[in-house]
Structure 1
Amino acid sequence: MPSSDDIRIEVLIRRPPRADGRYILYWMNATRRLSWNFALQRALSWARKLDRPLLVVETLPCDHPHANLRHHAFALDGMADNARYMADHPATYYPFVEDQPGQNIELIAALAKHACVVLCDLRPLRESLGETEQLAGRLSGRLERVDSNGILPLLAADREFTTAYSLRRFLQRHLLPHLLNMPLPEPLAEHTLPPCPAVPSAIRKRWPAADRQLLTEDRSRLHNLPIGQNTPAVPTKGGSEAARKALDLFLREHLDLYVAHRNQPQRDVTSGLSPYLRWGHISSHEIVQRLLDREGWHPSDLGLETRGQRSGWWGVGADAEAFLDQLVTWRELGHLFCFKRHDYDRMESLPAWAQTTLQDHMQDPRPYLYSLEEFQAGRTHDPLWNAAQMQLVREGRLHNYLRMLWGKKILQWSPTPELALATMIELNDRFALDGCDPNSYSGIGWVLGRFDRAWGPQRPVFGKIRYMSSRNTARKVAVDKYIARYTPCS
C-alpha cells in the first residue's frame, strides 16, 4: 500500500483510521471517473487493508458562478455512466446534485462521521482547494486529497514555470518515473469488498441521491435548480463512454493528420478531448498510454539528450509528438501554474513585462469598442470573430487556433486589459464545456502575455504583447466555409 507521503497524496488531517468506521468514503469531487483514477485506487487500498466496504459519493455543486444547464447536463452524463458501471462492481455509488449552496460539504461531513478514512480529489483551482480545506475544518478523522490531474504529480514540481520551454526541460529530466507509474485502468475489477451498509435514512432523506430522471436525458428538473437557465445544453454528450469514443476517433482518423491540419478550422482534426479532461471523465494517463501503445513506444525510445525542444524527446512520430506536447507540456503547465498561484485569473499573475506594456498602452485609442452583450451575441464588425463566438455559444467549443484570435481581439476591442480579461473569463467559463479549468486560465493568460515573450515592433493597445489579426489568420488558414457555417443569426 502507498505510504502516506506518496507524492500524489496530501494528508489534510493526519490521524489514524477510525477503528469503528463502517466504510471508506471517497468524495469524487473532480476526478469523475472509475478508471485510471489514483484517488479511487488509494481508496480501494484502504478498503482492502481495513477490510471495509467502499462508498463513492459524486457531487455536483450549484453555487459556482458559471453553473448552468450546459455544464450540468454534461456532468450528469458522466454521473449516469458511473452509476451504470458501479451497478456491476463491489462498491456503492451515491450521486448527489445540490439544489442549495453548501449541501455538498454538509453531506460529506455527515457521511464522514461513519467513515474510517475520507478521501477526495485534488483540483488545482481556488474554489476546489478551498472547498476541501473547508471540509478539513469540519472533520475529526483522517482526510486525504489525491492528485490524478496529470502525468507529472503537482507536488513533484519544485517551482513555478513561466514558459512551456522551461517546463519541457524539467519534464525531459524528471517525467520518466511517472510515465512508468500509471494508475490502474480498472481498479475495481476482480476485487472482493464487504457489502456497504445502506446510507443512513436520515442522510438520504435530507440529501437524496440523484434520481433516475436526472441521470437520463429527461432532465426537466434542472430547470428548478438555482443555476444559469439561459445557457442551454449542447448535443455533445459527456461521460467516460463518450470520452473513449472521442479518443478512438482521434487515434483512428485524425492523429495522422494532426501536424498538417490542426490549425485548420474547416478540417477539424483536433482531439475534442478537452471537455472530458476538464470534467475528469477521462485521464491524461489513459490518453497517453493509448497513444504510446499505438506508436509501439518503449521507454528506451526517449531522447534523453534533448534540451527542451518540442520534438525529438518522446521518440514517436511527428503527429504523436506534437499532440503529446499539447496534452502534457501545455496542459500541465496550466495546472502547475494554478496550483502554485492562486491569482491565476487576475492581472497580477501576468509577467512584469506584460503588465508594464499593457499599462503603458492603456490610453491608446481602440479601433472599436464592444460591450459584453455585443461580444456575447457576436455583433462585431469582424465576420471571423463573430463566427468563432457563435461556435462557442452554439456548440460549447471553440477551435483551438481561433481561440487565440478570439482572445486577442477582445483585448483590442475592450476599454482596458482588465475588462478584456473579465470578458474572456465570463464568455469562456459560461459557454465552453472545457471552461472553468486551469487550461482556460492559462489560455486566457497567454492572450495577455503569460507563458510568452515580448514581441516587436510595439503596436497600439498591444504594446509588446503578441499580435494577431483576422486578416493574417485568413491568409494562413481557410475560413470561408467556417464563417458561413457559424454566421450569427440576424
Structure 2
Amino acid sequence: MRDQLVPRTVDVNGKTYNPDGEYVLYWMQATHRLDENWGLRAAIRTANRVNLPLVIHQGLDPTYPHASDRHHTFILQGARDTARHAESLGLHYQFVLRRTREDDRRVVDRVAARAYVVITDLFPTAGIRERVARFAERVNCRVLAVDSVCSVPSGAFTKAEFAARTIRPKLGKLLDHAIEPVAEGMPRVAVSEPLRLSLRATIAEGGGLVPLALATMSDDDIAREVAQCEIDHTVPAVALAGGSVAATARFAAFLFSALPNYAEQRNEAGDADGTSRLSPYLHYGQIPSARLIREARTTGVAAADLDAFVQQVTTWRELAYNWCVRTPNFDQLSALPDWVQRTMAEHVNDPRPALYDLEELETGHTGDRLWNASQHELVTQGIIHNYPRMLWGKTILLWTPDYEQARTIMFHLNDKYALDGRDPNSVGGIMWCLGLWDRPWGNKPVWGGIRPMVTHRAKMKFDVEGYIARVRGSRLL
C-alpha cells in the first residue's frame, strides 16, 4: 500500500496534464514538512517520470478565519524549518507572505500556469478543501490532492465510520504495513538559476511580492513580519515554538519522560508533561504521525502505555479525519446522529443552570474555577490539556441558551485561540461534546441523552487544584 498513489490521492479536477509545463508544482498547504510527506513524494515521482524539475510553493495570507499573531508566528516558524531543510537538500522551496488583504491574490495561479501538474494536500478543514476546489477550476492542468495526515491512507475507507470501535480494528489490520518507512526520493532535474529568477518574476508580477528569505530569519525577524500583517494582533504568539525542530524535541522529551506512564498519567492535568502536547504540530503537519508510532514502538514501554498513545495518534485522529472528509456539513448540528437530533429537540427549552455571554466566556469570568482555568490555559498557551478540554466543551452546553449557540461558541473559542484549531481532530472533539460517536446516556435536563460531564466531579479524575495552580501559578481563581 505504501508505494501506491491511489489510496492517498484524489483527482480534484479531472483535467489533463499540461504538455507545455516547465516543472511539477507541489503546493504545500497542510503538511508543513519535507520528510514523510506523501504529496511531496508523489510530486517527486511525477517530476522524475517526466524529467522535469520540482517546485515547492507555500504561501500565507491574512484572510483565513481568526488569522492572528499566534497562528501566523507558529506557521512562519515552521516554514523557517522547512526552508532550512530544503536548502540542505538542494530543493527549490519558495514562501510568499501576503501582508494585507489588498496584496496580490493570484500568485499561486500564475506559478501553476507554468506547471505540468499541481499536487497539493488533501485536507478537509481550515478552508483548504474549498480553496483547492476553486483553484482547480481556474488552472489549466490536473490538480491532485494527497493525504499526508493519516498513518493509514484515508482512501482505505469508503464511508464515514460511526464510532471508534468500528474504525479501530480496520486501522489495526493496516497499520503495520502503512507506517513502514519508505526511502525518500529526490528530483533528478534541478531547478536552474534562470528558472529561479523567472519564478521570482512571476511571483512579483501582480504586485511586487517576493519570497521570504526564511532560512536566515531570526525569531525577531519573524515577529517583525507578523507585526506588518493585517491580522488580529490581540491574540499574541505563545511560548510554544512552531516547526519540525521543536516538534522533534518535544516528542523526544515525551518518549523519555511521559510515555512510560502514559496510560495512567495522561488524564492528570496537573502535570503539563503527562501528555505529548503534539497536537499543534500534527495539525500543521510539522511532524508525521507514522513516525510517532514507529519510534514509540522502539521504546520498550509497557503495552498499556504504548497502546494508549497509539490509539490517540491513530484511532481518534483518523476517525475525525474520516468524518470530515466523508460528511457534508461535518461541523454542523445537522450532521449529528438521529438520536442526538431527537434529544436536542426534546431538551432545547430546558432551563440552563447559568447563562454567560461570549465576552464572559472568552475572558474566563464564570462561577467555575476549573472552567476558568481551562479557558485561561487556552488563551495564554494556545492549548488545553486533554481531559479539561472535554469538560470545557461539555460545560458550555449548560451555559448557553441552546445547542446551536453552544456549538458556535465552542468553535469560535477553539479556532481563535487553539494552535490546533480548525483541525479535523478538534472538529471531532467539539462534535463529540455534542454526542458524535457516542451512545445515549440516560435522559437528563439540558443533556438529554448526551453524555454528561460536570466540572465538580473532575476531582475524581485528576488533581483539580494542581491543574488550576499550574495554569495560573500560585494565584487563586
Give the partner amino acid of 1:424. M
How far off is 1:51 after superposition?
A: 2.1
1:6-85 paired onto structure 2 within 5 Å: 6-15=6-15, 17-85=17-85
The equivalent residue for 2:418 is: 432
1:91-110 paired onto structure 2 within 5 Å: 91-101=91-101, 106-110=106-110
How far off is 1:226 after superposition?
A: 2.2
Give the partner amino acid of 2:415. D
- Alignment check: 8 A CA contact 1:455 1:464 kept: yes
The equivalent residue for 2:290 is: 285
Matched residue SS, 2:235: coil
How far off is 1:95 after superposition?
A: 0.6
Structure 1: any 5+ residue segments left out of the alignment? 297-315
Distance 1:215 1:450, change over 3 A: farther
- Alignment check: 8 A CA contact 1:31 1:37 kept: yes
The equivalent residue for 2:171 is: 171
Corresponding position: 1:380 with 2:366: yes
The equivalent residue for 1:242 is: 246
Distance 1:154 1:53, change over 3 A: same
The equivalent residue for 2:120 is: 120
Distance 1:279 1:262, change over 3 A: same
Listed one character per residue, the Cα deviations across residues 455-478 of structure 1 (whole Å, up to 9, x for unaligned) are 12x221111111111121113211
> How many aligned positions are there?
466
Matched residue SS, 2:6: coil
1:289-328 paired onto structure 2 within 5 Å: 289-295=294-300, 317-328=303-314
Q: Find the aligned partners of 2:88 and 2:173 in 1 and give their Cα distance.
A: 42
The equivalent residue for 1:208 is: 210
How far off is 1:163 after superposition?
A: 0.8
Q: Find the aligned partners of 2:236 and 2:177 in 1 and give their Cα distance.
A: 43
Listed one character per residue, the Cα deviations across residues 289-308 of structure 1 (whole Å, up to 9, x for unaligned) are 21223349xxxxxxxxxxxx
Distance 1:347 1:30, change over 3 A: same
Matched residue SS, 1:55: strand
Give the partner amino acid of 2:21. G
Question: Among residues 434, 459, 469, which one is paired with 1:474 in the alignment?
Answer: 459
Distance 1:10 1:477, change over 3 A: same
Q: Find the aligned partners of 2:268 and 2:12 in 1 and give their Cα distance.
A: 46
Q: Find the aligned partners of 1:385 and 1:351 in 2 and give their Cα distance.
A: 28
Distance 1:26 1:102, change over 3 A: farther
The equivalent residue for 2:278 is: 273
Matched residue SS, 2:20: coil
Listed one character per residue, the Cα deviations across residues 79-105 of structure 1 (whole Å, up to 9, x for unaligned) are 111111112222211011223459786
The equivalent residue for 1:111 is: 111
Matched residue SS, 1:225: coil
Distance 1:93 1:126, change over 3 A: closer
Corresponding position: 1:89 with 2:89: yes
Question: RMSD over aligned Cα, in angstroms?
Answer: 2.4
How far off is 1:113 after superposition?
A: 1.9
The equivalent residue for 1:368 is: 354
Matched residue SS, 1:36: coil
Matched residue SS, 1:96: strand
TM-score of the pair, normalised by structure 2: 0.92
How far off is 1:31 after superposition?
A: 0.7
The equivalent residue for 1:304 is: none
Give the partner amino acid of 2:284. W
How far off is 1:177 after superposition?
A: 3.9
- Alignment check: 8 A CA contact 1:58 1:94 kept: yes
The equivalent residue for 2:261 is: 257
- Alignment check: 8 A CA contact 1:10 1:144 kept: yes
How far off is 1:204 after superposition?
A: 2.9
Matched residue SS, 1:87: helix
Structure 2: any 5+ residue segments left out of the alignment? none
Give the partner amino acid of 1:256. P
Listed one character per residue, the Cα deviations across residues 20-72 of structure 1 (whole Å, up to 9, x for unaligned) are 32221110011110101011111111222222221111112321111111001
- Alignment check: 8 A CA contact 1:76 1:215 kept: no
Q: Find the aligned partners of 1:118 and 1:104 in 2 and give their Cα distance.
A: 20
- Alignment check: 8 A CA contact 1:396 1:433 kept: yes
The equivalent residue for 1:406 is: 392
